[in-house]
Chain A
Amino acid sequence: MKKQIASASQKPIAFARDFFSYAIKGGNLYYGWLLFLSFFVVVGLYTSYVQMTKGLIVTGATDQIIWELFISNFIFTAHIAAAAVLVVIPAYIYKREDMKHLAVLGEIIALTFVIIGLNFIFFHMGRPDRFWHAIPGLGIFNFPSSMLTYDIIVLNTYLGINLVAVSYLLYKRYLGQPINTKFYTPLIYVAVAWGPLIHIVTAFILSSNAGISAWHTAVLPFAFLSMAGASGSALIIIFFLLIRKFSKMDIADSVIDFFSQVIVWSLGIIILVFASEFFTELYPGTHHAASLEYMIHGHHGLNAYVPWFWWTMALIVIPFILLLSSKVRKSYNFLLPLISLVVFLIILIEKPAVLVFPSFSPTPLGEYAVYHPTLIEIFNVLFIWASGFIILTLLTKGAIGVLTGEVQDSQTVEGDAK
């Protein structure tokens, strides 16, 4: 009896060992990819040291434009983390058989992108050493007044839910035991509700600032959720096509088709949201529209954001029109991944270049400014992205090993042999 308990407590350790020893094995391409990411981690270790010792002065942020690339990227990671529920919803709520086994991959995306996002917030803080001041109980938690406290709650809860859900499911699969649906299903439903919630709260962090008129709009959560639908589905398509190509995981065409449909719908909603926002701002033409006008045609020759604005608009509308054709949507090996990449990147670029930086002009005292990111800032952003993608790669690889049965508890294997 005692021996059994001892071996049971060893099981999670064996799981972690088997999981990661499978995850770090791969072909040359796999090692090349990890090596490529590690380069940015090594450089990033130095650049983060510079930022942590010198302060945010090494970034391009000023009292005029106070949000840097970090927080702009954070908003994007919240897009993806929220959109990951799009894998879970069809599997658990619409009971689609072709997606049931993929739900855990969606949760891994959510988990990774919340981690990436929390890293971005850490780099955004002026005093990261004082983060404990915001931990309820340990510090002071200005709840319910401060919007940031809601974000701390929802992000960490989402991280926790996904961490538990992913490791529970994979562990049970590893042992070859059925999952306890009384525990797992409610957890999944909470995660499904929580995904959009983290994103709505993130939108409120922006729209609660009456002083920044470009953000002070009720359409912001709708814009964020539709952008999540587009960029998240774009990432999932690329992700699933790669998994299908490089592993034994079975991912049906119908799954890919579902996500290309979601991109079309989401892009359509983005266009409507933008159109209604632009109309509401531009028709009365009050000072409330000043930052939008700054983006559209510059201000007294200061027009750095004008090309970014128009390219963003074009690259949202063009993929929408292209993806309306089922021929394009079915081009799994060329057009669909290419358009998905464009959608993913343009919504990533939209964050700093359209949503964040131009919105700070005019400042409350009427100044217009242009943001100039620094190299250190850019390398820190790449550092966070690269370490996030390393986590995503390793977790996905290990999870595929478990799901395809290549990573299994040795006793289960013995049992099967008998």
Chain B
Amino acid sequence: MSEDKRKKDIAEGQDDGKAKESRRDFLKKLGVATAATTVAPAATAKAGSIAEALQTHFRLMSDDEKKNAIARLEKRYTEQFSKQVTVADTPAPEGVLFGYALNISKCIGCRRCVEACVRENNQSRDPAIQWIRVLRMERGNNTFELKELNEGSPSSNPLGDYGIQSGGHADKHVGLSGSTEHYYEPEQVPEDDAIYFPVQCQQCEDPACVKACPVRATFRDPNGIVVIDYNWCIGCRMCQLACPYWARRFNWGEPVLPNEDMNPKTHYLGNRPRMRGVMEKCTFCLQRVRDGRYPACVEACPVGARKFGNLLDPKSEVRKILATKKVFRFKEEFNTDPKFFYYMD
């Protein structure tokens, strides 16, 4: 992504913003602008960024510090994206453990969830960052061939060929299995010969990533969601190494998010725009679910394969699925105890 293109995006966004903004906002901005010119705007911006650089972990901030940190961010984002951006600090609701259930027999691999997630959570468009990967797997096993029935290794043995096949089909398998890919580009979905398996952060109860973080920038929130304080992350990527689900994404460069695509309703621990050099991942749309709404991927799924709810509530939809469907969890051998369940009808 070139610097010029970014500047252009920002400029275009400003134009859009001006056309829409009300007279009161305009006057307010004018006031800010005149004030800023008299007190040197660069100095105030610099003071803000120094304060941001020196702030502590979000969980350790006092109420005042939180308020200041959020005000700083709102100011910075509002200027950067030329629209009124809010950074919420909605607390975790009491008595809730969030859980997710995904019906793999319904998933058609359309990746609308991916798109909705990118839009909702302000992911960088270039380099493109996506929190959900949809794996495509070959349906069935179409390489079984009769003529290979007696082919195998070792077919003969210099120490004595007894005509007894001992090594199995070690070198030349009859049929293939387990190959997946997530860069498929079909004409249309679902494809006849494929099944789909979406993967995102599994919100583990025993998260390997949280254990590995040297500064506790990533931690489990009281609702069981694993979140990141983007301002505390040092970018060491130990969490990314530890995660067996490939659920974490790193901002290798400055994230690029066009103004018109920016979702201005954000949460401090959720979808607020990230900076260069920090980790990010799925938070079950924390900014939505703390307000009692569904995650964006759940709403976007056209076939209703995605279900979400409170695991502590026996009457919730997820609990009903856990009780009645064929349910499994991904990579159980890692013993991370995910709250993301896969099921079949």
The CA-CA distance from A97 to B251 in the complex, in Å, is 55
**Beyond known contacts A63-B249, A208-B212, A211-B242: 6 more, CB 8 A cutoff:** A61-B252, A66-B240, A126-B276, A129-B53, A133-B234, A363-B246
Interface residues in A268-293 by Cβ distance below 8 A to B read 285, 287
**Which one of A129, A131, A146, A287 contacts B212 once the chains associate, using CB atoms below 8 Å?**
A146
Assess whether A2 is interfacial by the CB under 8 Å rule.
no
How far, in Å, is A268 (CB) from chain B's closest CB? 31
The CA-CA distance from A125 to B235 in the complex, in Å, is 5
Q: Are A126 and B235 in contact (CB under 8 A)?
A: yes
How far, in Å, is B133 (CB) from chain A's closest CB? 6
Q: How many residues in A have their beta carbons less than 8 Å from beta carbons of B?
A: 43
Kindly specify which of B6-14, B144-152, B214-222, B258-266 makes contact with the partner chain: B214-222
Sample 14 A-B pairs with CB under 8 A, ordered by A number: A58-B253, A61-B252, A63-B249, A130-B53, A140-B57, A140-B215, A141-B214, A146-B212, A148-B238, A212-B241, A364-B244, A364-B246, A365-B199, A366-B135
Q: Are A55 and B212 in contact (CB under 8 A)?
A: no
Assess whether B179 is interfacial by the CB under 8 Å rule.
yes
Q: Are A365 and B277 in contact (CB under 8 A)?
A: no
The CA-CA distance from A364 to B170 in the complex, in Å, is 24
Assess whether B95 is interfacial by the CB under 8 Å rule.
no
**Which one of B60, B238, B250 contacts A146 once the chains associate, using CB atoms below 8 Å?**
B238
Assess whether A247 is interfacial by the CB under 8 Å rule.
no
* Contacts A54-B254, A126-B234 given; does A133 touch B241 at CB 8 Å: no
How far, in Å, is A162 (CB) from chain B's closest CB? 23
Assess whether B213 is interfacial by the CB under 8 Å rule.
yes
List A residues at the B interface (Cβ < 8 Å): 54-59, 61-63, 66-67, 124-127, 129-131, 133-134, 139-142, 145-149, 152, 205, 208-212, 285, 287, 363-367
Assess whether B245 is interfacial by the CB under 8 Å rule.
yes
Assess whether B343 is interfacial by the CB under 8 Å rule.
no
Instruction: Kindly list chain A residues whose C-beta atoms are within 8 Å of the C-beta of B241.
Output: 66-67, 209, 211-212
How far, in Å, is B245 (CB) from chain A's closest CB? 6
Instruction: Kindly list chain B residues whose C-beta atoms are within 8 Å of the C-beta of A147.
Output: 212, 238
Assess whether B236 is interfacial by the CB under 8 Å rule.
yes
Q: Which 10 A-B pairs have the closest CB atoms?
A: A126-B235, A57-B253, A126-B277, A148-B214, A211-B244, A57-B252, A364-B246, A55-B276, A127-B235, A146-B214
Instruction: Kindly list chain B residues whose C-beta atoms are within 8 Å of the C-beta of A140.
Output: 57, 60, 215-216, 232
* Contacts A55-B254, A57-B127 given; does A125 touch B236 at CB 8 Å: yes
The CA-CA distance from A149 to B236 in the complex, in Å, is 12
How far, in Å, is A206 (CB) from chain B's closest CB? 9
Assess whether B328 is interfacial by the CB under 8 Å rule.
no
Contact mask for chain B residues 50-77; partner A; CB cutoff 8 A; 1 contact, 0 none: 0001000100100000000000000000
Query: Which residue among A59, A211, A285 has the maximum number of chain B CB atoms within 10 Å of its CB?
Result: A211
Assess whether B233 is interfacial by the CB under 8 Å rule.
yes
Instruction: Kindly list chain A residues whose C-beta atoms are within 8 Å of the C-beta of B334.
Output: 210-211
Contact mask for chain B residues 245-286; partner A; CB cutoff 8 A; 1 contact, 0 none: 110011111100000000000000000000011110000000
The CA-CA distance from A56 to B254 in the complex, in Å, is 10
Q: Are B252 and A55 in contact (CB under 8 A)?
A: yes
How far, in Å, is A236 (CB) from chain B's closest CB? 31
How far, in Å, is B70 (CB) from chain A's closest CB? 19
The CA-CA distance from A127 to B230 in the complex, in Å, is 11
Interface residues in B189-224 by Cβ distance below 8 A to A read 199, 208, 211-217
Instruction: Kindly list chain A residues whose C-beta atoms are within 8 Å of the C-beta of B244.
Output: 210-211, 364
How far, in Å, is A362 (CB) from chain B's closest CB? 10
* Contacts A62-B252, A365-B199 given; does A56 touch B277 at CB 8 Å: yes
Q: Are A366 and B180 in contact (CB under 8 A)?
A: yes
Q: Are B236 and A126 in contact (CB under 8 A)?
A: yes
The CA-CA distance from A390 to B80 in the complex, in Å, is 44
How far, in Å, is A160 (CB) from chain B's closest CB? 19
Q: Are A63 and B240 in contact (CB under 8 A)?
A: yes
* Contacts A147-B238, A210-B334 given; does A130 touch B232 at CB 8 Å: yes
Instruction: Kindly list chain A residues whose C-beta atoms are within 8 Å of the C-beta of B331.
Output: 364
Q: Are A126 and B251 in contact (CB under 8 A)?
A: yes
Instruction: Kindly list chain A residues whose C-beta atoms are within 8 Å of the C-beta of B133.
Output: 365
Q: Are A365 and B182 in contact (CB under 8 A)?
A: yes
Interface residues in B29-53 by Cβ distance below 8 A to A read 53
The residue of chain A having its C-beta at the shortest distance from the C-beta of B232 within the complex is A133
The CA-CA distance from A55 to B208 in the complex, in Å, is 26
The CA-CA distance from A212 to B240 in the complex, in Å, is 11
The CA-CA distance from A145 to B53 in the complex, in Å, is 26
Q: Are B252 and A127 in contact (CB under 8 A)?
A: no
How far, in Å, is A355 (CB) from chain B's closest CB? 14
* Contacts A54-B253, A63-B249 given; does A133 touch B217 at CB 8 Å: yes
The residue of chain B having its C-beta at the shortest distance from the C-beta of A139 within the complex is B215
The CA-CA distance from A9 to B182 in the complex, in Å, is 68
* Contacts A66-B241, A126-B250, A285-B170 given; does A365 touch B213 at CB 8 Å: no
Assess whether B237 is interfacial by the CB under 8 Å rule.
yes
Q: Are B242 and A209 in contact (CB under 8 A)?
A: yes
Instruction: Kindly list chain A residues whose C-beta atoms are within 8 Å of the C-beta of B217.
Output: 133
How far, in Å, is B87 (CB) from chain A's closest CB? 20
The CA-CA distance from A152 to B238 in the complex, in Å, is 14
Instruction: Kindly list chain A residues whose C-beta atoms are within 8 Å of the C-beta of B238.
Output: 146-148, 205
Contact mask for chain B residues 281-319; partner A; CB cutoff 8 A; 1 contact, 0 none: 000000000000000000000000000000000000000
**Which one of A141, A205, A365 contacts B135 once the chains associate, using CB atoms below 8 Å?**
A365
**Which one of A67, A131, A145 contacts B234 once the chains associate, using CB atoms below 8 Å?**
A131
The residue of chain B having its C-beta at the shortest distance from the C-beta of A61 within the complex is B252
Q: Are B236 and A63 in contact (CB under 8 A)?
A: no
Instruction: Kindly list chain A residues whose C-beta atoms are within 8 Å of the C-beta of B216.
Output: 140, 142
Contact mask for chain B residues 165-203; partner A; CB cutoff 8 A; 1 contact, 0 none: 000001000000011111000000000000000010000
Q: Are B246 and A365 in contact (CB under 8 A)?
A: yes
Q: Are A56 and B252 in contact (CB under 8 A)?
A: yes
Query: Which residue among A62, A67, A126, A366 has the maximum number of chain B CB atoms within 10 Å of its CB?
Result: A126
Assess whether B97 is interfacial by the CB under 8 Å rule.
no
Query: Which residue among B208, B215, B238, B279 has the maximum number of chain A CB atoms within 10 Å of its CB?
Result: B215
Q: Are A55 and B234 in contact (CB under 8 A)?
A: no
Instruction: Kindly list chain A residues whose C-beta atoms are within 8 Å of the C-beta of B322.
Output: none
Assess whether B243 is interfacial by the CB under 8 Å rule.
yes
Instruction: Kindly list chain B residues whose C-beta atoms are within 8 Å of the C-beta of A149.
Output: 214
Q: Are A211 and B170 in contact (CB under 8 A)?
A: no
* Contacts A56-B277, A211-B244, A212-B241 given; does A133 touch B215 at CB 8 Å: yes
The CA-CA distance from A62 to B215 in the complex, in Å, is 23
Instruction: Kindly list chain B residues whose C-beta atoms are within 8 Å of the C-beta of A152.
Output: 214
Q: Are B253 and A127 in contact (CB under 8 A)?
A: no
The CA-CA distance from A291 to B216 in the complex, in Å, is 31
The residue of chain A having its C-beta at the shortest distance from the C-beta of B212 within the complex is A146
Q: Are A134 and B215 in contact (CB under 8 A)?
A: yes
How far, in Å, is B80 (CB) from chain A's closest CB? 17
How far, in Å, is A361 (CB) from chain B's closest CB? 12
